[in-house]
Amino acid sequence: MIARTYYVVMPEAESGNVALDIVVEGFPGSQADPIDAGNSPAGWNGGNGSYYEIRSRPIRLPVEVGDDGFVPRFNLGWLCSVTPISTIAALALPGVQFSASLQASLNATPLTDPSYGPVIRLAGTAAAVGGMALTVQLQIMEAKDEDRASTGT
């Protein structure tokens, strides 16, 4: 199983909606140097928020197939969880959307892959999630995690 944990601080704004893209391939960041407005790919959607993968490890995706199917890494299943860790009372959590090359069939309206690669997009209203600190945990199953026979052995 491939596991990644991202520490995220959602962007803040006076009003409206806020969003932050976790770029899963190529921009993991680190605690000392998180991905933010000053250290991000061109055109990054994250405002004044930031994130980093706790071990500074990207996910390597062998093939991006967009609207026509799955990326092989996600073919056997995956799990994504979002947990608030800040002192802000979490009445609402941000919504989670995957870009098309990660999981096109999951989204009612697939998010087009940004120019900087496949993303997990977190979004919500500024009033509800602005400035919220949270963790995003992503687990991706691999062939070696699967049973070898249909009997479960």
pLDDT at 15 (0 to 100): 82
pLDDT tens for each residue of 129-149 = 889 999 999 998 776 766 666
Mean pLDDT, range 110-127, rounded to an integer: 88
> How many Å is the maximal CA-CA distance in the chain?
56
pLDDT tens for each residue of 5-57 = 999 999 998 888 999 999 988 899 999 999 999 999 999 999 999 999 999 98
Q: Does residue 112 lie in a domain region?
A: yes
Residues 6 or more apart from 38 whose CB is under 8 A from it?
Answer: none
This prediction has a pTM of: 0.84
pLDDT at 12 (0 to 100): 92
Residue 108: both structure tokens together = 């009612």
Lowest mean pLDDT among 47-51, 59-63, 121-125: 59-63
Domain count across the chain: 1
Look up the domain containing 115 and give its range: 2-142
Q: Does residue 152 lie in a domain region?
A: no
Radius of gyration of the chain (CA): 16
Residue 142: both structure tokens together = 């691999």
3-state secondary structure of 34: coil
Around 148, how many Cα atoms within 13 Å sit in the side-chain half-sphere?
2
**Quick one: which of 38, 3, 44, 7 has its CA closest to 23?**
44
Q: Does residue 7 lie in a domain region?
A: yes
Beta bridge partners of 7: 52, 135
Q: Does residue 91 lie in a domain region?
A: yes
